[in-house]
Structure 1
Amino acid sequence: MRWWDIDAVLELEKTLFPEDAWSRGMFWSEIAHARGPGATRRYVVAVDGTRIVGYAGLAAAGDLADIQTIAAAPDHWGTGLGSRLLTELLRAATAFECAEVMLECRIDNVRAQKLYERHGFEAIGFRRGYYQPGNVDALVMRLTTGSDGGTAAGSTSEQGTEIHG
């Protein structure tokens, strides 16, 4: 993800997460940590033609990575895009030499939970009222890396969607 992607990402963010969308400043801050020596973040966008149809981000600290966000446009649900974005983040976690990857997922987002489970994540707890202002609980999930490292998916789908850093 680059600074010029932020407007399109924000548009998608507000569509997908209307109650708790990230701000422009939050994205700027995250991508500022994703460049140069000592980078601790990896943010990517998925582009179909000229349109951003997905994005994802991961933060690393020591041997622990945390998936910050992952999103796919509704017209790309069921195409494998979410899996490809997640795979890219897991590759980054491996590159950052993280032993574990953590994430929070809305308790009512069963589609996302199934995606994470297919990639080996396990539920380990809850965060009550984590998503505000809706006061929705989060399911906390963890993946211990080392076996696959998320290397199963390629970087381009049959539909021509590409993932860029």
Structure 2
Amino acid sequence: MTRTVSPFWPLDWWSAWWDAWGSVPYVAPLRDAGQAADLEKLHATAFARPWAAHEFERMLCERSTEAHALRRGNALLGFVLSRKAMDEAEILTIVLAPSARGGGHSRRLLSEHLTSLAFAGIRTVHLEVDEGNTPALKLYARHGFLKVGERKGYYPLPDGSRATALTMSASLS
């Protein structure tokens, strides 16, 4: 019995490969300000006061911004934005889509982002985090961040109250 080969076998092979391997999430630099609307939508899934698209657009156009995206194919699953100044950086925001949370993706995203910052000559990274955000606190502790201070009543909450922000820093050198 002979098996006929489709004239489209290269396309069939590519589709099979993509189904098997192309759906693996990966981290890539985020430089396209045209994705600001997507960033705004994703940011709104995690924060009581999400940033507007024009804020993301402006940040992505600045030379001092370092940004990375977590993607699966063309789908945006998460991102992290930092602002660099001399040999320091501040992580401004990090967010994962609800469907991507809990799978270790935030660890990978943050790790690759911090590695990129280190290659750019950054020695110290700072951030602020809601003291009630236990998953984020665990993530930052795994990457060497230590509490250096707090800001009482810093974050507005949906119920009108305000939460304390912890300030944290990590050395990359």
Of Structure 1 and Structure 2, which has the larger fraction of its residues in helix?
Answer: 2
State the SS of the aligned residue for 2:45.
helix
- What is the alpha-carbon distance in structure 1 between the residues aligned to residue 36 and residue 70 of structure 2? 13
Aligned to 1:143: 170
Deviations 1:116-165 (A, max 9, x none): 0011111111011221364211111110111xxxxxxxxxxxxxxxxxxx
- What is the alpha-carbon distance in structure 1 between the residues aligned to residue 73 and residue 171 of structure 2? 35
Once the two structures are TM-superposed, the CA of residue 32 in structure 1 deviates from its matched residue by: 0.6
Aligned to 2:45: 15
- What is the alpha-carbon distance in structure 1 between the residues aligned to residue 144 and residue 58 of structure 2? 29
- What is the alpha-carbon distance in structure 2 between the residues aligned to residue 121 and residue 42 of structure 1? 19
Within a 5 Å distance, the mapping from 1:113-128 to structure 2 comes to: 113-128=137-152
Aligned to 1:84: 108
- What is the alpha-carbon distance in structure 1 between the residues aligned to residue 169 and residue 131 of structure 2? 15
- What is the alpha-carbon distance in structure 1 between the residues aligned to residue 96 and residue 162 of structure 2? 23
Instruction: Name which one, 1 or 2, has greater alpha-carbon Rg.
Output: 2
Deviations 1:1-28 (A, max 9, x none): 21232222111111211x2111112101
Note the residue ranges of structure 1 that are not aligned, 5 or more in a row. Answer: 34-38, 147-165
Q: Answer yes or no: is the 8 Å Cα contact 2:88–2:122 preserved in 1.
A: yes
CA RMSD, 1 decimal:
1.4
Q: What percentage of residue pairs aligned between the two structures are identical? A: 30
Comparing 109-118 with 135-144, greater Cα deviation is found at 135-144
Once the two structures are TM-superposed, the CA of residue 57 in structure 1 deviates from its matched residue by: 0.8
Deviations 1:60-117 (A, max 9, x none): 1012110011111121112121111111221232123122100001111000000000
Q: Answer yes or no: is the 8 Å Cα contact 2:34–2:57 preserved in 1.
A: no
Once the two structures are TM-superposed, the CA of residue 54 in structure 1 deviates from its matched residue by: 0.3
Aligned to 2:95: 71
- What is the alpha-carbon distance in structure 2 between the residues aligned to residue 131 and residue 92 of structure 1? 28
- Between 1 and 2, higher relative CO (CA 8 Å, sep ≥ 6) is seen in 1
> If the length of structure 1 is used for normalisation, what is the TM-score?
0.79
> If the length of structure 2 is used for normalisation, what is the TM-score?
0.76
Q: Answer yes or no: is the 8 Å Cα contact 1:58–1:69 preserved in 2.
A: yes
Within a 5 Å distance, the mapping from 1:98-117 to structure 2 comes to: 98-117=122-141
- What letter matches 2:39 in structure 1? V
- Deviating above 4 A after TM superposition, structure 1's stretches of 4 or more consecutive aligned residues are none
- What is the alpha-carbon distance in structure 2 between the residues aligned to residue 90 and residue 51 of structure 1? 22
State the SS of the aligned residue for 2:165.
strand
Give the count of matched residue pairs: 140
- What is the alpha-carbon distance in structure 2 between the residues aligned to residue 88 and residue 40 of structure 1? 18
State the SS of the aligned residue for 1:16.
coil
